[in-house]
Structure 1
Amino acid sequence: MVMKNLPGLNRAPLASALAAILGTSPLAYAQNEDPEARLLEEILVTARKRSESVMDIPGSVQALSEDDLRELGTRSVNDISRFVPSINTVDFGAGITDIVFRGATSDPGYVVQSTSSVYFDEVSVTTQGQQPYIRMVDVARVEALAGPQGTLYGADAQAGTLRIITNRPDTQAWEVVFDGSFRDGSDAESSWDGSLVVNLPIVDDTLALRVVAYGAEDGGFVDNVFGSTITNDRKTDNAYGRSPADWGTLNNADVVEDDINDFEVAGWRAALLWNINENWQATVSYLHQETNAGSYSVFDENVGDLEVNRYNEEFYDVEFDISSLVIEGDLGFAQLVSATSYYDSEGSFTQDVTNYQKSYSAYYCINYGGDSSYYNGDYYYLPPEGGVLFQAGAYCNAPTVEGDFLSAFDEDPTSDRFAQELRLFSSGETIDWLVGAFYEESNYSYEEFFGYPTANADGRGDAQDLYQQTISLDWFEWASGESYPNATAPFYANSSSDFEQVAVFGEVTWHVGERWDLTAGARWFDRENETTYIQRQPETAPDADAAVLKGDDSEIAPKFSVAYNLSDDSMVYALYSEGYRPGGTNRQRGEPATPQKFDPDKMINYEAGYRSTMANGAVRLAATLFYMDWEDFQFELTDPASRPCPDGGSIAGVCGQPFQVAVSNAGDASILGFNAEFDWAVTDNLELGFNAQWLEAETDTDIDSDGDGATDIPSASQLPNTPDWTGAAWASYSFPVPIADANGYARLQWSYSGERLSNLEPSPLTDDNPYPQFTMPSYDIGDLTVGLQGRTWDVSLFVYNLTDERAIYGHARQGGWSQVNVNEGRDHVDPVYVNRPREYGIRFVKRWGGPGG
């Protein structure tokens, strides 16, 4: 966004070209006005773990200052991504956002880890691909580091790193800042947020405390409207071609409610800074945050605009703590930084899975009933009602084979991470160097109860009472010869994954004369993982031997760059870097075809860029061309051995094995892209800016995803959720308002995202296909803010999403496109993740004290 000058450059080759495009010469303004009044804000960043101007870095780094974040109206990472073209996100609602740098994603799965990492100050908060929601309060800046960052940020930074940097305590001035807003809209429940920041110098120039408290409620905007359950599932291999006798008889009347996707957040943060002496400083900080959410932000166009059918109440609650101790010292020959951190998170959620369960009930409990040629007779069970044989009764959650039922899913995830990093760095006239060591222990665990019934023909009731009535329990008791009088769910799982990592890293820059900078760096890491997995069917069945899965990765991630300074204010550079996503282990049942272990995948990045400030600091331009070669990318797929054997029975690693999702190293992909950023202080009152990114992200190899010997994903298939074009533009205008002793301002901003595919595998959009490949349409979102800013206060009016755009972020696989309710005219089930509708509101900021206060 807006950035101050690196003074000096009067002419550059691109300045004239840009002036011709825009029809006005920025250099002409420099000649006619005081250039000092129009300097763009310079942002100092620590992307390379030392403070420097963002324009001096030979790499793709975009930084948003505290003022930028305020002007953007930023509350979350999803808001940031609209104006950082290297990032695209899938916002699920409920505080859950998948962050993707440069289109590096292969599948929106739940097993494979993320290709990107998130840092909160010195703390990495990415655990097993999970990234917590962090409310943007009292944030000094955000740094988006695109491309592999493995040399300095490790194994979770394969395609990029997002850093959220908070304001530090000030030992010289007390300050109190209140920031509050209220917003409303015709399609959304009222929303509010507020924060209070207190900075207190305890001992002048020596000790200071900064405390932040905040709370917010984002009102819901999706209505759960009346609807009965589906009456049929038309997928091709469910050839019964009829509605089961009792389907469609249950409804959601008792849980119908408006605005079910509300989201609340509350938290506080404290940091204590101690200047021990002239050479040493220590900062201890702590953050506690709690979020309470309703349903995800999904609606189904087959039901209505911003409407959905949910058959059970949903919630998603998360509580986490982040604590850190950072010690900084001047050793004379180098600067020392010790960063110790601990992150702990606990969550709990309940999700409606009625449509999902009925999809598999149609497949296993009804369609193949009596077809003894399809499965070996040992898999069959004759239910008490008689007349029908069926295979795998786990999904038959009603007292009769064709009975109607409602179903839900509970999960309690937890994660924790301890990390210690030590680094030394020094900057000199000729050589800059940095060396460091890193150690980490982390755990990600969950306990889940999947698919338990919440209602049947007798109505809602206790899960244990309802499950005790089911054909599912009858089937398990028949298959095992045991009795399970306390079982409440057909499926229970408990997983605990422990990770331990050590790493050493270093980077050196050689300033060759006044023009050339050569940089070389590398990181060696060794990462061990151990997962203990327990599964019980039904929930109270005796524990089988726990599956203990172990893995170990050891890699070296190198980095090389060369930069040439065209002048004091412009440079060109070339960069080579590598990033790795850790390998892992698959949770396995039976004897699958997919291997238990999958290897790290590797991202090789080739990049060239141009950085320049022009017109005495009134113009900033950055352009980057990159190519990323993604080798052996990790991809979630259904184990091919789950397909039936031609003659029934089962063959290890071939057919007749339990259905399960696994991760494999599927093949190669490549990402070619171009990124450009432009900021211009046209006058001392007007600033303009835009940025854009173009991507061509596609597979390079043919992929057989189901193991049948045929290509399912051909070479040159577009990577999912990756738009060809993203971009944003904005204009800010300020003007004096003497009567109020203030400055008025207005800001118009717009963002655009092109078409994307919902998943990697091409799959036709037909009525009987449960999970087709959707093309999600392009969208653009605009905002307008007008306000007054005094010496110690700021009040503004705003409209977000001016045109009330429906931006589709992704498709929720919660049943299947092939499901239908004939009686109520719903031809499909297709919940989609969506943005917030149009909202308007007011914001007020008041400051007491502070620098000069």
Structure 2
Amino acid sequence: MQYRKLWLATACTGALITAPGAYAQSVDGSSGSEYHGAEIVVTASKREERLRDVPTAITAIGSDAIETLGIRDFRDYGTLTPGLSQRDFGAPGTGTVILRGLNTGPQQTTNTSAFYIDDAPYSSNGFLSVGSLVTPSPDLVDVERIEVLKGPQGTLYGASNLGGLVRVITKKADPSSFSGMAQVEGETLAHGDEGWAARAAVNLPVITDKLAVRISGFYRKTAGFTDNVATGENNVNSSTIKGGRIALRVTPTERLTLDLTGFYQDIDNDNSSGQDNVTGTTRPLFGKYKFSAVDGTGGSQIKYRSVGGTASYETDAGAIVAVANYVKTQSAISSDYTDIYGSYLSLIGIVPPGTQTIGDLGPNMKKFSAELRFVSDRIGAFEFVAGGFYTNEKSRYPFVITARNAAGTPLPTPFDILFRSTSFANYEEYAAFGNLTFYLTDRLDVTGGIRYAKNDQSSRGPAGILFYAPTQPTSTSFSDDATTYLATVRYRPTDNVSLYARAASGYRPGGPQNSTLLPPTAQTVIRADTVWNYEAGVKATALDGALSANLAVYHIDWKDIQLNTLFGGVTLQGNAGSAKVDGFELELQARPSQNFVFGANVGHTNARISKIDPVAAASLGAQSGDKLPLTPSWTVAAFADQKIPFSDKIKGSIGATIRMQSDMPSSYPGYALNPNIKIPSVTTVDLRAGLEMSPVSLQLRVENLFDKLGYTSLATNALYAGQPVPTNATVTRPRAFILSATANF
């Protein structure tokens, strides 16, 4: 079973639209640096800067922290990062990234936060792309750091990052020296089975200081722990994740650097971490970690393929940087809709009792992007980044619901196909951007930024079937433009304190309605929704970096929100309201000695509707003042690690992490088809112990020590009000024991 109810809400909406921190701070106190001391440099502003000097909220997690804390998936670092959450579908590679609470709930079809690997955008921008179903989940075997940028980054990164973006920065080939690593890992779960992983990377200088190749690969079999009571199968939600990357660096001259990369990853999920609950409650229907779904449903396959290149030429005034990337995403998701559609169709006599309804869907994308920019050095009192950007994104979204008897045989035509739609969409964008910083003094500077973007969109869909009724082919086109802005003031009263204020805007592209069932009262063109983020922050260190703190306080105005709305009995998109978000993000760290580190991250998010169209309010059961779904008001993460030197060559370590997520709404209070349920708060504890015997290290981790059952999403999604369908939950992993061995050379 895939998290089928939530898939259904998003899938049907998309089909109708398109149918016919501070984890590791350095000894000198720079927030977000490597876990054991070296200062981190980030490129979030498209120039290399120390994280403590960047006047915006960024949580950066370095490779040392990734390894020490056992970070493997989005969930692992999402729960450690203030302001970051996910609409979770319960399987690697699926779900929707949520930053600072900017999401509209289970029916959201397009992204409000972006995802990058290096300079390659992996998330789609097109209004008709239905890209919110997938969250890239690259294995973190050969990663330099993860950067989470909070708030809109519209001037430098363009569209569809209303809440911010996640960047995974990979390690580059190094022509100066040979190096490598190999790791094996095994895990066993309470209430589940066993899993294992193998990872390796090698850096090969071909011509010293001129040419190098870096090759990495990974294979991971995750342990399953959910049981399908309908088929009698146990531990069905295991996943196989495999892939590799090759990176080439050429430095023909001291001024010119060329980087070429190729990456592929396959994620094969046998099922999802779902649990059926008593309708409208958090009580398990069949027992913990159990659900019921017909045979052959619930799996998903996601494939990523990408190639890219970056050329950087250093001039006397700065760097000319040219970037080009091609990303291909394929997905196939199977879900059981029997308790929703099969039971209803049987009840009204259209199909025989016991009819199964199976959904198959999968957004696919091919995306080419290119950017040319100039990153200046400081020239007198000025420095700037300016450039142009182009992207061409082609999307395909097939969705079919088939009907079959209890033996799995399709019903006779025409009752075998309940719903069928395939849409094709193209999104093309041109943009020009620039950020200019003026230093009033060496300690006081201001930055202004602007980006102008123009996009052209088109879509077409062949004839399909909508609830046994034929639909006609559709074809639409749409053009729009948007301008985003940035203004910051930064003041550094001392070398150890940086104060900043920031105002930034962002947008998510609009697009055309192209359903063949478009009612005459429906909105035919959806405008881009926009945000303004107002933020003030401080980054400070004390005691020679032994203490450090980052604090950001923000207010967001979100206008023209793209909400699903009921028009004439058909669910469609519409610009239906406004929202406000207030919050803060605090990251603290203390390092009283070289062998001990303690830190805590706290996030508070108050995201609520401030205005809503009456028709949308009636459809969604939402009113002004209601919280936006799936964002906890509070998140807290605290960690501590102690190194224990046994000798010059042998060192031990022990550590712990505590994560707390407060309760949050699953939906809107008055939504009849997906009633709101308060998702309970959850607190988990992880322990770890390690032994370093250079070049080999061993680590034992216990995750979710007290075996807490936690929910990340709840959804009922009935076809009609009061339909007796179970509430489906996405659950957290039970207690896990993980043993890893790593060799570095």
TM-score for both structures, normalised by structure 1? 0.79
Structure 2 match to 1:430: 381
Deviations 1:306-354 (A, max 9, x none): 0001113222112220110110101222201100000012222321110
Q: Are the structure 2 counterparts of residues 755 and 207 from structure 1 closer, same or farther at C-alpha, using a change threshold of 3 Å?
A: same
Task: Tell me, in whole angstroms, the C-alpha distance in 1 between the residues paired with 2:182 and 2:722.
Answer: 51
The one-letter amino acid of 1:460's match is: G
Which amino acid in structure 2 is aligned with residue 303 of structure 1? Answer: F
Name the CA shift for 1:540/1:627 in 2 (closer, same or farther; >3 Å).
closer
Partner of 1:586: 513
Question: 1:492-641 counterparts in 2 under 5 A?
Answer: 492-537=420-465, 544=472, 546-592=473-519, 593-637=521-565, 639-641=566-568
Q: Which amino acid aligns with 2:633?
A: D
Counterpart residue number, 2:342: 358
Shift, 1:713, TM fit = 2.1
Tell me the amino acid that sits aligned with residue 147 of structure 2.
E
Q: Find the residue that maps to 1:49 and give its secondary structure.
A: coil
- 1:286 pairs, out of 259, 262, 267, with 262
Counterpart of 1:834? 731
Q: Which SS does the other structure have where 2:76 is aligned? A: helix
Query: Which one of the candidate residues 681, 685, 688 is aligned to 1:778?
Result: 681
Q: 1:460 is matched with which residue: 376, 386, 408?
A: 408
Q: 2:82 is matched with which residue?
A: 85
CA pair 359-54 structure 1, distance change in 2 beyond 3 A: farther
Quote the residue 2:611 is aligned against: 701
SS of the residue 2:253 aligns to: coil
1:93 Cα deviation from its structure 2 partner = 2.3
Deviations, residues 21-52 of structure 1 (Å, cap 9, x unaligned): xxxxxxxxxxxxxxxxx984421100100111
Q: What residue in structure 2 maps to residue 759 of structure 1?
A: 667
2-structure distance, mates of 1:609, 1:707: 36
Pairs within 5 Å for 1:177-576:
177-226=181-230, 255-300=231-276, 301-314=284-297, 315-358=299-342, 360-361=344-345, 365=348, 396-398=350-352, 403-428=353-378, 430-450=381-401, 452-456=402-406, 459-461=407-409, 463=410, 466-468=411-413, 473=415, 488-537=416-465, 544=472, 546-576=473-503
Alpha-carbon distance change, 707 to 802 in structure 1, aligned in 2, over 3 angstroms: closer
TM-superposed deviation, 1:695? 1.6
The alignment partner of 1:336 has SS state of strand
Aligned to 2:18: none
CA contact (8 A) 1:670 1:700 kept: yes
The answer on whether the counterparts of 1:703 and 1:714 sit within 8 Å (CA) in structure 2 is no
The answer as to whether partners of 2:304 and 2:327 remain within 8 angstroms in 1 is: yes
1:162: which partner in 2? 166
The answer to whether the Cα contact below 8 Å between 1:819 and 1:829 also exists between their aligned partners in 2 is no
SS in 2 for 1:537: strand
Distance 1:48 1:554 in 2: 23
Counterpart-to-counterpart distance in 1, 2:364 and 2:344: 29
Give the aligned residue type for 2:500. Answer: Y
One-letter amino acid of the counterpart of residue 438, structure 1 = F
CA positional deviation for 1:448: 2.3
Separation in 2, partners of 1:762, 1:530 = 35
Q: Would the aligned equivalents of 2:666 and 2:715 in 1 still touch at CA under 8 Å?
A: no
Once the 2 structures are TM-superposed, how far is the Cα of residue 585 of structure 1 from its aligned partner?
Answer: 2.2
Taking the aligned partners of 1:203 and 1:5, their CA distance within structure 2 comes to 35
Q: Among residues 692, 701, 711, which one is paired with 2:602 in the alignment? A: 692
Matched, 1:76 2:80: no
Letter in 2 for 1:331: T
Which of 119, 124, 139 is matched with 1:122 structurally? 119
Residue 144 of structure 2 is matched in structure 1 by 140
Aligned to 2:12: none
Residue 661 (str. 1) matches residue 665 (str. 2): no
CA distances 1:476-512 after superposition (whole Å, capped 9, x unpaired): xxxxxxxxxxxx4122101011000000000011111
Q: Which residue of 1 aligns with 2:623?
A: 714
Mapped contact 2:29–2:546 kept (Cα < 8 A)? no
- For the Cα contact (< 8 Å) 1:97–1:133, is it kept in 2? no
Shift of the alpha carbon at 1:404? 2.4
SS in 1 for 2:161: coil
Residue aligning to 1:173:
177
SS in 2 for 1:79: helix
Moved more, 41-50 or 697-706: 697-706
* Separation (CA, whole Å) in 2 of partners of 1:70 and 1:711: 43
The corresponding residue for 1:103 is: 101
Give the letter for the 1:751 counterpart: R
Shift, 1:705, TM fit:
3.8
Q: Deviations over 1:433-483 (max 9, x none)?
A: 110100000011122221x12324xx332x2xx233xxx64xxxxxxxxxx
Match for residue 592 of structure 2 among 682, 693, 698: 682
Task: Indicate how the Cα distance of structure 1 residues 5 and 737 shifts in structure 2: closer, same or farther if over 3 A, else same.
Answer: closer
User: Where has structure 1 moved over 6 Å in runs of 4 or more?
Assistant: 538-543
Equivalent residues of 1:40, 1:618 under 8 A apart: no
For the 8 Å contact 1:107–1:636, the answer to whether it is kept is no
Q: Distance in 2 between matches of 1:508 and 1:270?
A: 35
8 Å contact from structure 2 (residues 371, 387) kept in 1 = yes
Q: Measure how far apart 1:416 and its partner are.
A: 0.7
Name stretches of at least 5 consecutive residues in structure 2 with no aligned partner.
1-22, 277-283
Change (3 A) 1:460 1:333: closer
What's the C-alpha RMSD, in Å, of the aligned pairs? 2.2
1:53 to 50, 55, 78: 50
Summarize deviations over 1:118-157 as a string: whole Å, max 9, x none: 0001100001434333222211000000001011011021
Q: Percent identity?
A: 25
SS in 2 for 1:499: strand
Q: Is the 8 A contact 1:224 1:307 kept in 2?
A: yes
Q: Output one character per residue of 1:640-696: Cα deviation in whole Å (capped at 9) or x when no partner.
A: 301xxxxxxxxxxxxxxxxx3211111111001011110110222211100101121
In structure 1, what is the Cα distance between the partners aligned to 2:377 and 2:315? 13
Match of residue 9 from structure 2: none
Structure 1 or 2: larger strand share? 2
Q: Distance in 2 between matches of 1:577 and 1:6?
A: 30
Give the counterpart letter for 2:252 in structure 1: I
TM-score by length of 2: 0.90
With over 3 angstroms needed to count, the CA separation of the structure-2 counterparts of 1:7 and 1:121, relative to structure 1, is: closer
SS in 2 for 1:313: coil
Correspondence for 1:741 among 649, 664, 668: 649
2:737, 2:489 → 1: CA distance? Answer: 48
Q: Is the 8 A contact 1:211 1:269 kept in 2?
A: yes
Provide the C-alpha distance between the structure 1 equivalents of 2:272 and 2:518, rounded to a whole number of angstroms: 35
Contact 1:692 1:725 in 2 (8 A): yes
Q: Distance in 1 between matches of 2:391 and 2:398?
A: 24
| 1:152 and 2:156 are equivalent in the alignment | yes
Which of 19, 24, 38 is matched with 1:2 structurally?
24
Q: Does 1:750 align with 2:733?
A: no
Opposite residue 650 of structure 2, the aligned amino acid is A
1:610-665: CA deviation from partner (whole Å, max 9, x where unpaired): 1111111111111111000111111123x3301xxxxxxxxxxxxxxxxx321111
Q: SS at 1:169's partner residue?
A: coil
